[in-house]
Amino acid sequence: MFKIDNISKQYSNGFWGIKNFTLELSEGEIICLSGPNGSGKTTLINSIFGIINPTSGKAYLDEFENGTIQFKRNVFYVPDELLLIEALTGKEYIDFVSKIYIDIKEDFKNNLVNLFHIDTYLNEPIKTYSHGMKKKIQLITAFMVKSKAMILDEPYRGLDVEAIIILKKLIRKYVSNGGSAIISSHDLVSAEQLCDRMAIISCGSLLELGTIEDLKYRYQTDDIDEVFLKCSIKQDRGEDIEKLINSL
Ligand SMILES: Nc1ncnc2c1ncn2[C@@H]1O[C@H](COP(=O)(O)OP(=O)(O)OP(=O)(O)O)[C@@H](O)[C@H]1O
């Protein structure tokens, strides 16, 4: 089980980026984390992976705390930023990552490469790739590693339609094999298609957590956009968006 346990982060200027955030994922579960810009998603993810030091709280994979080697080996982070070694070719980079982890079968790696259809430019340096091509390399390395939980930050950004469809199928396959996934995304349509539960965050706090059906029922609407607006945007901005739109 993957658990985020009461994580808070106060920045040095006194601002709380995230406050008392708790969330548990079962094996095989996908949770979409959504919230307005600046709501604390990156602060939360950075706190989980030790990129910043949280003020309090921990994350766990089973009994292993974040910071332990077991946690790092089994919880994979796919950041929105493309942190690749640009001087290497795609193939060299994939081989480099596979050497860090053990037991990555050559066939499995090659199938992922074929799936994302990048074999033609695999021997070119990454610095010559487009944003989408780099994203595909990043995703191949993420799914190549046999992790137990994965956090993907804006994974669809920059991908073409085919790659987005493939990625959704891969995420489904990953959880059907027992993995747990958190997808931080502004794409509510994909969230509705893919996730088991949705977490809505605003101003550093978890406002709602539930299945899409639960949330629609709670906010008395059939439209996920309306759920999001009613829950987070108005809380965040205190404005009547409909009034503003109608005044234009
Ligand atoms: N180093 C910092 N010092 C002070 N405040 C910060 C710092 N980093 C982030 N913040 C603030 O913390 C809040 C949460 O930021 P964060 O980047 O976690 O949001 P986010 O939900 O990931 O936003 P987005 O959807 O735009 O990526 C914002 O108000 C931001 O200005």
Residue-wise pLDDT for 15-34, tens only, equals 999 999 999 999 999 999 99
Distance CA 168, CA 217 (A): 26
Length of the chain counted residue by residue: 248
Q: Distance (Å, rounded) from C-alpha 125 to C-alpha 121? A: 9
Contacts of 210 (CB under 8 A, 6+ apart): 197, 198, 218
State both tokens at 178: 């027992």
**Alpha-carbon distance 243 to 248, whole Å?**
9
pLDDT at residue 123, as a whole number: 92
**Cβ–ligand 1 contact at 50 (below 6 Å):** no
In short, whether 41's Cβ falls inside 6 Å of ligand 1 is: yes
User: Residue 234's pLDDT is what?
Assistant: 62
Q: From the CA of 44, how far away is ligand 1's center (Å)?
A: 10
Could you tell me the domains of the chain?
Answer: 2-246 (3.40.50.300)
Minimum CA distance residue for ligand 1 atom 1: 11
- For this complex, say whether ipTM is above 0.95: yes
Which residue's CA is the closest to the ligand 1 atom numbered 28? 38
If we measure between CA atoms, which residue out of 245, 219, 244, 222 comes closest to residue 232? Answer: 219
Structure tokens at 39: 């709501």
19 lines ligand 1 (CB under 6 A): no
104: its two tokens: 């990555």
Ranges of residues in the chain with a pLDDT under 70 are: 233-239
- In this prediction, residue 108 carries a pLDDT of 84
